[in-house]
Amino acid sequence: MTNLPERALGSLKVSAIGLGCMNLSHAYGLPPSSEEGGRLLNRALDLGVTLLDTAALYGGGSNETLLGASVMHRRREFTLASKCVLGMYDGKRGLDGSPGAIAQTLDEALVRLRTDHIDLYYLHRLDRRVPIEESVGALVRAKEAGKIGAIGLSEMSAATIARAHAVHPIAAVQSEYSPMGRNPEVAVLETCARLGIGFVAFSPVARGMLAASVRDDAYAPGDIRMSMPRFRQPNLAHNLIAVQAFEALAAETGCTPAQLALAWLLARGDTIVPIPGTRSIAHLEENVAAAAIVLEPATIAQIDGMFAGDAIRGARYAASAQAQVDTELLPDEELAAD
């Protein structure tokens, strides 16, 4: 096992770059076989990755099942993170932040994961029908029962984070964050810094846009980017102008675009932990190597300039998915129409 730099998420110490496991079961077309997924997960551990991030939603539980079958024999080597509230209910994606649903989801996750303890358990989304205090309270009881360790929140606003933290210390907040997706900079990053909460950046290479893997909108059936306005024409053609400038800067810097995006995130603060996902062991190795890259301030400024103003057009999510997100909007951010 290789040693990577570590960062803190509350009391947890994890590798500076983790692994988002969603891609192995969910959201980007036909997933790899369980054997292929297992090989990638074990290679991540070999490379020193110590944060594996899954969720009940991913593959309707099959992602948790994959981790349970593939890496639990190495349980002492990593921090296990999973999520509840957002899931499949009667065959449809939905939210249930009630204490009873949270307890049931957790118990089912423990079975799938073949463990009796999840180190970091997130509320995946805010269920506005349930006070955040009640949802967090359910996780506090799970912690007291020894089923989970730290408590996290995903895609929630600064105000919601503060309310949750008043019930019980929050270890980590997870949201989309990359050079082209800057919503956490509105208020969440400052709130996390003030309250001593770690920040986990999902989609740190912008769902492949900053990894030189998106050139058109001919996505595979079932790929969630088909429903995301910034990944569809005519927005995509406009957005690729900034992306191509980013790729040129990566070449000039001597790294890949994905590494440049990850190094940029690591430079934003020492409690930020990106969790890129991939199905490719070669890309996994490339991502992990970004932990050793230190960017010059001038390079960081160039990146910031590339994505300023209207460099990126189109909403982050389709309207139905945006309705489940509590994170602040950027000034003049576009929203998808119903």
Nearest to 220 by CA among 40, 41, 67, 23: 23
Query: DSSP character for 279?
Result: S
The catalytic position among 58, 121, 122, 317 is: 58
Angle subtended at Cα 333 by Cα 28 and Cα 189, rounded to the nearest 5 degrees:
80
34-46 vs 281-289: helix crossing angle, rounded to 10: 20
Question: Do 274 and 14 touch, CB atoms closer than 8 A?
Answer: no
Question: Do 257 and 215 touch, CB atoms closer than 8 A?
Answer: no
Name residue, tokens 């073949």.
Answer: 114
Tokens of 237: 């053609």
58 is catalytic: yes
Q: Roughly how many angstroms between the first and final C-alpha of the chain, as a whole number?
A: 48
Active site residues: 58
